[in-house]
Structure 1
Amino acid sequence: MTESPGLVAQLLKVVVAYTWFFEACDDSVLDDDTALKQMEYAAYLLNQLSDADKRRLLDELSALAAAESDPSEREFVQGFAFAMGLVPS
């Protein structure tokens, strides 16, 4: 399968957008336990990637953070790799 140049970046935007939603929504929209389970599952899936793919995601996350105009969302993207366990603490 030939990779589309923007595929990884676009899919990562989707993952970040959904995890931002889980992080930012209040209890009236989504139960905290459900949100946490979904975020943990996303972290689990991302951690199944090879080290090379994780490095590529880190590069893409840096680009996403640099392009983000909303300060709170930019901060979330900047901390995403750590929160998902993609980088050591």
Structure 2
Amino acid sequence: MVGWPEYVIDLLGDLLTSAYPSLTRALAEALADALWFIEGTEDEQMHPDDAVTVLENAAGLLGLLSEDQRAELTSLLEEMARAEADPARREFLEGFAEGFGLLDDED
């Protein structure tokens, strides 16, 4: 199998670097995409119990983040929501922090 030419790898690296200024931003985008997909799946696509398990596990893991990490992720989600053109996805992003337990009760 032939690998990618060096110039293609360099170009992709440049594109990813400019699209995602930090690893945290890239991971936040990937997490939001995955959870948005799972939350929107129909019963025929994914068993509802499996979807709930994945979403609850994600919330549990996010609950282990430090206060600073939760604040950083919440800020990134707010940025993502402001930039989102799809109203349904924007609503998902706006409710993400509360829905996945990133906010303290006082927030």
TM over 0.5, shorter chain: yes
Partners of 1:5 and 1:50 lie apart in 2 by: 22
2:85 is matched with 69
Q: Note the aligned Cα RMSD (angstroms).
A: 1.3
Q: Which structure has the higher relative contact order (CA within 8 Å, separation 6+)?
A: 1
1:7 is matched with 23
1:27 is matched with 43
CA deviation map 1:21-76 (0-9, x unaligned): 11101011001110010001111111111001100111101100011110000000
Partners of 2:25 and 2:50 lie apart in 1 by: 26
| Pairs aligned (count) | 86
**Would you say 1:40 and 2:56 are equivalent positions?**
yes
**Which residue of the other structure, out of 48, 56, 72, is the alignment partner of 2:72?**
56
2:67 partner letter: D
**Cα offset, 1:5, TM superposition:** 4.2
Partners of 1:76 and 1:29 lie apart in 2 by: 20
Residue identity over aligned pairs, in percent, reads 36
Q: Which aligned runs of 4 or more in structure 1 are off by greater than 2 angstroms?
A: none
